[in-house]
A and B are shown apart, each in its own frame.
Chain A
Amino acid sequence: MSKTDDDVILHVDDLKKHFKVDEGWIASLLQSVTGDDPDYVHAVDGVSFDLKRGETLGLAGESGCGKTTTGMSLVKLHEPTDGDIHYNNKRLSEASDEEIKEFRQNAQMIFQDPFESLNPRMTVYDIVAEPLRVHDIRNETARVQRALEFAELMPAEHYFDQYPHELSGGQRQRVAIARALVLDPDFIVADEPVSMLDVSLRAGVLSLLDRMTEEFGLSVVYISHDLSLLRHMCDRLAIMYMGKIVEKGPTDQIIENPQHPYTQALINAVPVPDPDVGRERVELQGEVGDVIDVPTGCRFKDRCPKYIGDVCDQVVPPLEAKSDTGADQDIACHLFESAEGYDPYAELDGGRAENATAANDGSESAPADD
């Protein structure tokens, strides 16, 4: 599927990233002897979405749901295992070296921990200027200065010769932002940009990130487990669970009217800074499932309070618009009727038919009881 929508800067199409477990040579040797298939962690397992120009999209979910791997794949810090990313309607897998270089200039990332993402042996000036040198861009000093000033590190010259250890956490994250902006990128992936910062400083960095989208028309993908923060920052939200998006749509709609049982549990679990507000708690049972040997059907089925039987067990729910919920809100759950007439039960019946054939061959088939 290729989109030709000019508004869409990034079109992610069924992106998958699997990591091999036991990559060491002993493991490989053993595998070659025993003939076992290697195991893979299905970190990202079929994620699709569009990022529009000037839009802020939030990726949310628990640790290990694949949100950071998705983010890193978006800026090509990971090569996808399968699927593709289209940047300005161009498939990255087919792009020339020249085009990849242009993409790298336009895709930047801000990491969670400003204590680790900045090289301690480089001055602030060199840290911010490094991307310019890599991409051979002139007018270095003026650009570095402008980037630092935008990040509210003023006067910029004052910071040029400082090293990261001389700066506070908030200032470091501002240096990381200046570094991401110095190349005038089209979009930025910000992975938990303020979770390491103190509360009183968070709002300052957040308002800076806000200005970044307003003044430069940047598109931003925010990755965070903090839904209160994402509600504040994002136009749209995508909720991930075990490598897949389970629900996506406009932020206010998702937060106020979540439909997927997992989204509902996640939103209800967020503590509210107001003693007068009592929360309704949906306690999820169990833990996030196995991402190596992924379960069949819906990945949330074992913890789902609304499990409805065989269809959840066997058919992977597609992320799609549903006929009975709000516009623009896509949900991957069998509880809702597909807006486009997709019938998961047809697949289930097909599965039963096969089972029946198998039963004829002598094995037991699962009783069809609903």
Chain B
Amino acid sequence: MSLLEVEDLEVYYETEQGPAQAVDGVSFELEEGENLGIVGESGCGKTTLAKSIIGILPDAGYINAGSINFKGDDLTEMNGAQRRRLKWEEISMIAQSAMNSLDPVYTIREQIVEAIETHRPGTGRVESNEIVTEMFELVGLDPERADDYPHQFSGGMRQRAMIAMSLALDPSLVLADEPTTALDVIMQDQILKRISQIQDEINSSMLVITHDVSVVAETCDRVIVMYAGQIAEEGPVEDIFNNPYHPYSIGLKRAFPNIRMENQDLLSIAGYPPELIDPPEGCRFAERCPMATDRCREEVPSEHEMGDLRTYCHYAEDIDQELRPYADDPETWENTVAAKNAGAQAGDD
């Protein structure tokens, strides 16, 4: 049994125009000790997915269908009290903005001790303080500074304090939502290093949610590429980077500048993700895909197993033979429907 099994999950947001299908039929498994990355653009549903797992969806959001099995129990069927018990103890979260996630009027120690004592009544102060010291050392903070207030910490230190707090109760699953996005290069590097180190030292599983493919490349074993509420491709991180089959994975990777490469021709994916209130029929990426055919616009792609990868593209099998070099060429991407729409409009005047 996997630690986490998400099955056909549908998470919708109530809007005036009808429900927006933020997460639409997502299934995946996360093994114990595994580090899984979820990448995609804003609005692809990655944060909604994380929020459904930890149980902090905003009021307008609801789980329409599907299940989230954590250690065999379905989280979607639990009541508030049951879920609260799991929070921090079993599933914890490292939020994007540590600044807003720490309470400014309590010291860091008080906040961590509070979490420990709420979940484990009867834990003595001495024991709680030992945990604080241990966690501070784990994330590379001086334990003597545990009695500081959040404002006395720099951005990077606050993020480390957040990580310390999320690990204090030894959870089985840690969700990291854009853990380094608000940080500077050097701080980002130190946090990434800590995360990798922690992954080696403890046996928690980690779910890393980010738009930055380089963060995933450095911290994850497996990665899910999401697009418009659905999984486009999933598999081991090396395979997704070296031999992706989904045109969106290829495009996304080539849209990122790499500091180690000279004269890169960056690729631009013209257009925008579709409206999720009334999503297009067929493949949701079709409008922005250079290889899309009529079939793509009509028929929802099914799952294709390509080695260790699982790819949702009708032409996954053909990519290897002829389409990969074609998809890897930025010029190809000027031929998508979305790109042509921009061009056609230009021709009108």
* Residues of A participating in the B interface, judged by any CB pair closer than 8 Å: 62-63, 149, 152, 154-158, 168, 170, 198-204, 206-207, 225-229, 231-232, 252, 255, 265-277, 279, 281, 283-284, 287
A113 to chain B, nearest CB (A): 14
Most chain A beta-carbon contacts within 10 A, residue among B218, B238, B264, B267: B218
Q: Does B284 contact A (CB under 8 A)?
A: no
CB pair A199 B241 closer than 8 Å = no
A272 near B214 (CB under 8 angstroms)?
A: yes
Q: A157-B349, A228-B258 are in contact. Are A269 and B270 (CB under 8 A)?
A: no
Q: How far is the CB of A265 from chain B (nearest CB, A)?
A: 7
A62 and B252: CB pair below 8 A? no
Cα distance A272–B242 in the bound complex, in angstroms = 14
Determine if B184 is an interface residue (Cβ-Cβ < 8 Å): yes
Q: Please tell me the number of chain B residues within 8 Å of chain A, measured between CB atoms.
A: 47
Using CB atoms, name the residue of chain B closest to A231: B259
Shortest beta-carbon distance, A20 to chain B, in Å? 23
Q: Quick check: A269 and B241 within 8 Å, CB to CB?
A: no
Which chain A residue shows the least CB distance to B261?
A231
Contact of A200 among B269, B345, B346 (CB under 8 A): B269
User: Given the complex, which residues of B lie within 8 Å of A225, measured CB to CB?
Assistant: 184-185
Q: A198-B41, A273-B253, A283-B193 are in contact. Are A203 and B266 (CB under 8 A)?
A: yes
B residues with CB within 8 A of A: 41-42, 154, 156, 184-186, 188-190, 192-193, 211-215, 217-218, 237-238, 241-242, 251-253, 255-260, 262, 264, 266-270, 272, 288, 330, 342, 345-346, 348-349
What is the bound-complex CA distance between A366 and B277, given in angstroms? 73
Contacts of B217 in A (CB 8 A): 271-275
Q: Is the CB of A272 within 8 A of B259?
A: yes
Whether B193 contacts A200 by the Cβ 8 Å rule is no
Closest partner residue, chain A, to B154 (CB atom): A287
In contact, A269 and B188 (Cβ under 8 angstroms): yes
Question: Top 7 closest A-B pairs, CB basis?
Answer: A269-B189, A203-B268, A271-B214, A204-B268, A200-B269, A273-B214, A228-B257
Of B42, B184, B189, B269, the contact of A271 (CB 8 Å cutoff): B189
User: A283 CA to B193 CA in the complex, in Å?
Assistant: 9
Minimal beta-carbon separation of A256 from chain B (angstroms): 8
Shortest Cβ gap from A289 to chain B (Å)? 12
With CB as the reference atom, state the residue of chain A lying closest to B227.
Answer: A200
B140 to chain A, nearest CB (A): 9
Cβ contacts under 8 Å, A265 to chain B = 186
A152 to B186 CA separation, bound complex (whole angstroms): 35
Closest to A200 in B: B269
Whether A227 lies near B259 (C-beta < 8 A) is yes
Given contacts A157-B349, A231-B257, contact A271 B186 (CB under 8 A): no
Q: Pick the contact of A283: B190, B213, B288, B330 (CB < 8 A).
A: B190
Closest A residue to B241 using CB positions: A275
Which chain A residues lie closer than 8 Å to B190 at the CB level? 283
A201 to B186, CA, bound (A): 25
Closest Cβ of chain B to A179, distance in Å, is: 20
Residues of chain A within 8 A of B269, CB atoms compared? 200-201, 203
Q: Which one of A149, A226, A231 contacts B346 once the chains associate, using CB atoms below 8 Å?
A: A149
B258 touches A274 (CB 8 A): yes
Q: Are B184 and A267 in contact (CB under 8 A)?
A: no
Question: What CA separation (Å) do A231 and B261 show in the bound complex?
Answer: 9
Q: Judging by beta carbons under 8 Å apart, are A276 and B238 in contact?
A: yes
Nearest CB in chain A to that of B349: its residue: A155
CB distance from A282 to the nearest CB of B (A): 9
Q: Is the CB of B218 within 8 A of A281?
A: no
Q: How far is the CA of A270 from the CA of B288 in the complex (A)?
A: 30
The one of A202, A252, A273 in contact with B241, judged by C-beta atoms closer than 8 angstroms, is A273
* Beta-carbon contact of B255 and A271 below 8 Å: no
CA–CA, A284 and B190, complex, Å? 9
A275 and B270 CA atoms in complex are apart in Å by: 27
How many angstroms between the C-alpha atoms of A232 and B260 in the bound complex? 10
Q: Given the known inter-chain contacts A199-B252, A204-B268, A271-B217, please indicate yes or no for A232 contacting B257, CB distance below 8 A.
A: yes
Bound Cα distance from A71 to B242, whole angstroms: 39
Residue contact A203 to B258, C-beta cutoff 8 Å: no
Is A200 in contact with B186, judged by CB distance below 8 angstroms?
no
Are A276 and B242 also in contact (CB < 8 A) when A207-B266, A271-B188 are?
yes
Q: Is the CB–CB distance between B258 and A284 below 8 Å? A: no
Residues of B within 8 A of A272 (CB): 214, 217-218, 258-260
CA distance A225 to B183 in the complex (A): 10
Out of B156, B185, B241, which one reaches A270, CB within 8 Å? B185
22 interchain pairs, CB-CB under 8 A = A63-B184, A152-B342, A154-B346, A155-B348, A168-B272, A199-B211, A199-B212, A200-B288, A201-B272, A202-B268, A227-B259, A229-B257, A255-B259, A265-B186, A270-B259, A271-B188, A271-B217, A272-B218, A272-B258, A272-B259, A276-B241, A283-B193
When the two chains form their complex, are residues A252 and B262 in contact, meaning their CB atoms are under 8 A apart?
Answer: yes
19 further A-B pairs in the complex, CB-CB below 8 A; given A155-B349, A273-B213, A276-B242: A154-B342, A154-B345, A155-B346, A155-B348, A199-B212, A199-B255, A202-B255, A202-B266, A227-B185, A231-B257, A231-B259, A268-B189, A269-B188, A269-B189, A271-B212, A273-B217, A273-B256, A274-B258, A283-B189
Q: Shortest CB–CB separation between residue A75 and chain B, in angstroms?
A: 24
Q: Which chain A positions have C-beta within 8 A of B42?
A: 198
